Amino acid sequence: VELARDIAPGDLQSLHERGLVVPEAGAWKLRRAADAPGLVEALDEPFVASLHGALASSLEERLESGTAVERSEVEARLVVHLALAGRTAEARKRLEARRGHGLAARAWVEAADAVASATGGDPSARLLQAAVHGEAGSLERSIEILAGAVDDARDEATRHGARIAMARSLLRLGDLSGCDGQIQAAREASVGARGDPLLSDLEARVLIQRGSFGDAYEIAREGLGRARDPGLVAGLHEDVGVAASYLGRFDEAARELAAAEAAHGDGGSPRDFVRLLSYQAINRYRMGDAAEAERSYARALAVAEENGLSDQVASAALNLGTACHQQGDLGRALECYELGLRTAVAVGARST
C-alpha cells in the first residue's frame, strides 16, 4: 500500500500477524481487497483521519477535469473524505453549495450521509441529507430522515423546516392527505404560521392537485405579498400561473409563469425549473402555440439532462416526443419516445 510508508514498522508487523497485509517486493500490500475495512478499523483514528485528508487533497486537484458527471462524482467523494477527515464544516459547505445533486446521485447520497453522520445526526444537517435523498429520487428515505429530524429538533425553526420539507416530499409522492397533515402541524406549532408564504405555496399546490383552482389562485396571490426569498417568489408566481391557466386565463398565466422564470434566476433548484418550463409548455398548448410549447419542452429536457434528473428526463422526453409528433417531426418524436422509455425503465429499476 503506497501510504504504508506512514505506518510505524511495529504496526505494520501487527497488521501482518493479523493477516491483513503481506510483504511484496520490499513493500506492503493488502492480502485481499475485501480486507480494506478491517485494515481501517485496525488503525488509529487520527491516522485514518489523516489518510482521508490526504485523499481529499488529491481529489480536490481533480475537480476541474473530466465530464460533468465525473466532476460531480469527484466532488461528492471529496465531501465524503472531508467529513471522514473531521473537516465537517468544509464538507457541509460544499454539500450545501452544490446546485443540484442529480449528477452522480448515488455518490451525493453517500456524501450527504457522511456529513450527517459526522455531525452526530444534527437535525439541521439531516434536513440537508433528506434534501439530497429527495433530489436523487429516494423520497421514502427522505421522509424517514425528516420524521426523525422533526422528533429530534432542538428548536421550533428546525422542526418547522423539517415539516415543510416533508410536506414537499409527500406532495411529490402524490400523498395529498399526508402533505395536508404536515401543513396543519406546521400551522399549529408555529406562531404566525398562518401567514407563512411557504405554507401558502404548499397549500396552493395541494389545491391545484385537487382541482380547486380558484382557491389555489387566491392563496398563492396572497402569499406573493409576503414572500421575499427568490425561490419562493418564483414558486408562488408559478402557482398563480398554473391556477390561472386551468381557469382559462391563459394570457395572465403566461405573464405569471414568465415572472416565475425571472424570479428563479440561475441559482434556483433545477428540478423546480424543469417543472416550471413544463407548465409553460402546457399553457402554450392551451393558447394554441404548439411551436412555443415544443421549445419549452425542449428546454425542460435539456435542463433535466444537464442536472441528471432522470425522472424528469423521462417525462420531459415523452412530452417533447408528443409535441414533435403533433408538429409532424416524426424522426425527432421517435428519438424522444425512445429516450423517455429507456430512462423511465432505468428509473423504475433503480427504485425497486
Q: With CA atoms as reference, report the closest residue to 281 among 343, 311, 310, 324.
A: 324
Least confident of 37-51, 78-92, 154-168: 37-51
pLDDT at residue 3 in the model: 45
pLDDT at residue 352 in the model: 32
pLDDT at residue 1 in the model: 41
Residue 259 has pLDDT above 70, yes or no: yes
What are the beta bridge partners of residue 29? 22
Q: In the structure, what pLDDT confidence band is assigned to residue 11 with cuts at 50, 70 and 90?
A: low
Place of cell 419562493: 232
Least confident of 51-60, 193-202, 306-315: 193-202
Q: With CA atoms as reference, report the closest residue to 285 among 276, 274, 271, 296.
A: 296
Q: Exposed/middle/buried for 296, CB within 10 Å: 0-12, 13-18, 19+?
A: buried
Q: How many CB atoms lie within 10 A of CB 316?
A: 30
Give pTM, 2 decimals: 0.79
Residue 193 has pLDDT above 60, yes or no: no
pLDDT at residue 153 in the model: 86
Q: Are 53 and 87 in contact (CB under 8 A)?
A: yes
CA 203 to the chain's CA centroid = 22
Each residue's pLDDT tens digit, 262-318: 999 877 788 899 999 999 999 999 999 999 999 999 999 999 998 888 889 999 999
Q: What is the mean pLDDT of the segment spanning 147-153?
A: 89
Distance of alpha carbon 220 from alpha carbon 202, whole angstroms? 9
- Considering all CA atoms of the chain, what is the largest pairwise distance in Å, rounded to the nearest integer? 79
pLDDT at residue 144 in the model: 94
Residue 13 has pLDDT above 80, yes or no: no
Go through 182-218 and write b for each residue having 16 or more CB atoms within 10 A of its CB, e for each that does not.
Answer: bbebbbeebeebeebbbbbbbbbbbbbeeebbeebbb
pLDDT at residue 245 in the model: 98
pLDDT at residue 28 in the model: 62
Residue 211 has pLDDT above 90, yes or no: yes
Q: Between residues 223 and 36, which one has the greater pLDDT? A: 223
Q: What is the mean pLDDT of the segment spanning 87-109?
A: 84
Residue 25 has pLDDT above 80, yes or no: no
Residue 87 has pLDDT above 90, yes or no: yes
Q: With CA atoms as reference, report the closest residue to 82 among 46, 122, 55.
A: 55
Q: Where are the alpha helices (H) located in 136-228, listed in sequence order?
A: 139-152, 156-172, 176-189, 197-209, 213-224
pLDDT at residue 31 in the model: 65
Residue 335 has pLDDT above 90, yes or no: yes
pLDDT at residue 18 in the model: 67
Q: Between residues 9 and 154, which one has the greater pLDDT? A: 154
Distance of alpha carbon 251 from alpha carbon 248, whole angstroms? 9
Least confident of 13-27, 199-213, 220-234: 13-27
Each residue's pLDDT tens digit, 61-83: 888 888 888 888 999 999 999 99
